[in-house]
């Protein structure tokens, strides 16, 4: 069993085309990647907005997905007032080159307070690689996407991981996902914020490994 960390289009050192930043576009990149890596079936792990991408792949290509791990997953971001406010605040000032101040504030505002400073520094470096047009088009795609009417079709075993101090994604959201997704289960991390894997990496790794082991053993 291997783990592969992917920098999606527009991010990291991946190509940064002018267009193609809808949730559906990101999802469409996944199966060709699996094919290139000679991976027949995979477990997809997503955090926050990228959970929507993982869900889209599971909906469009259920034969390729064994399971999903969704950390701090929203239900939908379509018309999300908080995201709209955030986009309005940064829209006028977000241009190339991306400023260090914006990159750092984005990481600290959308992650957990317990994130270590050296980790934040590494993440800021990665954020600085994302050009302004990618930010604008990605936000636009998130605001338009809604798969909630389709979630009952996801049959892959799904592990929801959520911190009860998350100020961005609510417990009600997790309960709604549990009701909609027939094979979902929820793990709650006490006193953890929006990124439990940074606040308790040992537990997160153990929970992820246990979920994978259970899938392999048919539990």
Q: How far apart are alpha carbons 136 and 5 in whole angstroms?
A: 24
pLDDT value of position 100 = 92
Mean pLDDT of the chain: 92
pLDDT value of position 84 = 85
**Tens digits of residue pLDDT in 158-205:** 999 999 999 889 999 999 999 999 999 999 999 999 999 988 999 999
CA-to-CA dists, residue 85 to 79, 130, 140, angstroms:
10, 21, 13
In a domain, 75, yes or no: yes
In a domain, 37, yes or no: yes
In a domain, 88, yes or no: yes
79 vs 41, higher pLDDT:
41
In a domain, 4, yes or no: no
pLDDT value of position 114 = 66
CATH of the domain at 205: 3.40.50.1820
pLDDT value of position 196 = 93
In a domain, 13, yes or no: no
Which residue range forms the structural domain that includes residue 54? 23-216
Residue 76 has pLDDT above 80, yes or no: yes
pLDDT value of position 110 = 76
In a domain, 35, yes or no: yes
User: For residue 68, what is the enclosing H or E element?
Assistant: strand 65-71
User: For residue 82, what is the enclosing H or E element?
Assistant: helix 81-91
Concatenating the DSSP letter of every residue in 16-60 gives --SS--SHHHHHHTHHHHHHHTT-SSEEEEEETTHHHHHHHHHHH
Residue 55 has pLDDT above 90, yes or no: yes
**Tens digits of residue pLDDT in 108-161:** 877 776 677 888 899 899 999 999 999 999 999 999 999 999 999 999 999 999
**Burial class (CB within 10 angstroms; exposed 0-12, middle 13-18, buried 19+) of 160:** buried
Domain count, the chain: 1
Interstrand relation of 65-71 and 42-47 (parallel, antiparallel or unpaired):
parallel
Residue 75: strand, helix, or coil: coil
In a domain, 170, yes or no: yes
% of the chain exceeding 90 in pLDDT: 75
pLDDT value of position 219 = 66
In a domain, 143, yes or no: yes
């Amino acid at each position: 069993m291997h783990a592969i960390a992917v920098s999606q289009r527009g991010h990291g050192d991946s190509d940064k085309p002018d267009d193609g930043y809808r949730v559906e576009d990101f999802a469409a990149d996944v199966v060709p990647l699996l094919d290139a890596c000679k991976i027949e079936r995979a477990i997809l792990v997503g955090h926050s907005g990228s959970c929507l991408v993982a869900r889209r792949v599971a909906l469009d290509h259920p034969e390729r997905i064994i399971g999903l791990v969704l950390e701090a997953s929203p239900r939908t971001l379509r018309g999300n007032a908080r995201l709209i406010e955030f986009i309005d605040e940064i829209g006028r000032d977000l241009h190339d080159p991306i400023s260090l101040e914006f990159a750092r504030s984005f990481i600290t505002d959308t992650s957990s307070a317990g994130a270590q400073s050296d980790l934040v520094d590494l993440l800021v470096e990665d954020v600085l690689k994302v050009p302004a047009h990618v930010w604008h088009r990605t936000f636009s795609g998130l605001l338009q996407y809604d798969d909630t009417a389709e979630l009952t079709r996801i049959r892959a075993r799904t592990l929801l991981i959520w911190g009860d101090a998350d100020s961005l994604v609510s417990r009600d959201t997790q309960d709604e996902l549990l009701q909609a997704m027939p094979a979902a289960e929820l793990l709650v991390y006490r006193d953890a914020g929006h990124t439990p894997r940074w606040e308790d990496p040992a537990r997160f790794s153990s929970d992820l490994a246990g979920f994978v082991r259970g899938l392999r053993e048919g539990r």
